[in-house]
């Protein structure tokens, strides 16, 4: 990061926006090279604004920013991908917003996280490309982001005994992985509450752990979609609560109470 030079260019994805006064907005942006930034977009809510429409949440843009003491200012925004299709569809928008929110809550301002940027960009592109698979895209995104943050789910071996899982498989939120039938019936380890997984869902988890976001086996992804989405949302909730307690997740910046 070139200190001393107040002006800089970067690519960014708008995570969320806040209104500021009559016609301005504060944008929370994940940039490719400069991490998460908060920037004022002056006049972006005026209809005459040159880049008003370009700075909606989830927009991917090339930005020209001016570094400020507490906040940057957006000087120019050139659209790369508006992801309008994602914002226009309720399911896709919910999935895309969940991605942006997750990234927002685990990042600190100004800390470069280029791999998270890549994941978020790919996640949004996949939502646009495969709208019918929004659930699997979101679940796989959550899986990958958690792994990137240092929390890899144990899905190929039993999280309790490390043995081969066998046919019948449960998921333990407390252990962050699958539990085999032997461990479940023995009630061993403090595995907490267990969720029974269908063979498709456990197959999908195994696939997710060894493949990139956006690579999926067609039948598995379609069969296991709703179950995987529900499971990952519970896993994520559990993980976030735990991380919050240990202060590892960045405290979300409270919304500025300026203007409307
Ligand atoms: Zn076991």
* pLDDT profile of the chain (260 residues), mean per 10: 76 94 91 96 70 79 93 93 96 97 94 96 96 92 94 94 92 93 79 85 92 80 86 93 70 44
Return the closest-CA partner of residue 56 out of 25, 30, 31.
Answer: 25
pTM: 0.88
Residues measured by CB to lie within 5 Å of ligand 1, the ion: 158, 160-161, 163, 180, 183
Angle of helix 218-245 versus helix 199-210 axis, rounded to 10: 70
Ligand 1 centroid–CA 178 distance in Å is 8
Cα 99 to Cα 87: distance, rounded to the nearest angstrom: 13
Ligand 1 centroid–CA 188 distance in Å is 8
Ligand 1 centroid–CA 163 distance in Å is 6
φ, ψ of residue 193 in degrees (nearest 5): -75, 140
Q: Is 238 left (phi over 0), alpha (psi -120 to 50) or beta?
A: alpha
3-state secondary structure of 159: coil
Name the E strands within the chain.
7-20, 24-31, 36-41, 60-66, 72-81, 169-172, 177-180, 194-197
How confident is the model at residue 253, as a pLDDT?
A: 44
How confident is the model at residue 49, as a pLDDT?
A: 62
Ligand 1 centroid–CA 186 distance in Å is 9
Cα 200 to Cα 40: distance, rounded to the nearest angstrom: 46
Ligand 1 centroid–CA 158 distance in Å is 5
Contact indicator for 223, 200 with CB cutoff of 8 Å: yes
Contact indicator for 95, 137 with CB cutoff of 8 Å: yes
Ligand 1 centroid–CA 181 distance in Å is 7
**Domain segments of the chain as ranges:** 7-129, 145-245
**Helix boundaries (H) for 160-217:** 181-186, 199-210
Q: Hey, which CATH number is domain 7-129, 2.40.50.140, 3.10.270.10, 3.40.190.10, 3.40.50.300?
A: 2.40.50.140
How confident is the model at residue 218, as a pLDDT?
A: 65
Cα 83–chain centre separation:
16
Ligand 1 centroid–CA 223 distance in Å is 26
Contacts of 168 (CB under 8 A, 6+ apart): 180, 181, 184
How confident is the model at residue 243, as a pLDDT?
A: 76
How confident is the model at residue 22, as a pLDDT?
A: 84
Return the closest-CA partner of residue 57 out of 87, 89, 35, 21.
Answer: 87
Question: Around 6, how many Cα atoms within 13 Å sit in the side-chain half-sphere?
Answer: 10
């Amino acid at each position: 990061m070139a200190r001393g030079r107040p002006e800089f260019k970067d690519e960014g994805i708008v995570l969320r926006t806040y209104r500021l006064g009559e016609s301005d907005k504060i944008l929370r942006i994940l940039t490719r090279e400069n991490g998460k930034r908060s920037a004022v977009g002056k006049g972006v809510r005026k209809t005459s604004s040159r880049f008003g429409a370009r700075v909606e949440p989830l927009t991917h843009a090339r930005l020209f920013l001016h570094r400020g003491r507490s906040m940057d200012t957006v000087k120019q925004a050139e659209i790369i991908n508006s992801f309008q299709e994602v914002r226009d569809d309720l399911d896709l928008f919910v999935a895309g917003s969940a991605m942006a929110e997750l990234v927002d809550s685990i990042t600190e301002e100004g800390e470069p996280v280029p791999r998270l940027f890549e994941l978020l960009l790919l996640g949004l592109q996949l939502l646009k490309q495969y709208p019918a698979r929004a659930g699997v895209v979101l679940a796989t995104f959550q899986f990958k982001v958690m792994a990137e943050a240092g929390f890899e789910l144990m899905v190929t071996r039993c999280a309790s005994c490390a043995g081969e899982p066998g046919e019948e498989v449960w998921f333990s939120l407390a252990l962050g992985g699958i539990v085999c039938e032997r461990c479940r019936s023995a009630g061993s380890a403090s595995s907490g509450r267990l969720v029974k997984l269908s063979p498709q869902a456990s197959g999908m988890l195994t696939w997710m752990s060894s493949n990139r976001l956006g690579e999926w086996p067609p039948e598995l992804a379609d069969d296991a979609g709703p179950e995987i989405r529900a499971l990952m949302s519970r896993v994520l909730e559990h993980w976030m609560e735990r991380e919050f307690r240990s202060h590892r997740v960045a405290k979300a910046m409270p919304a500025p109470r300026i203007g409307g």
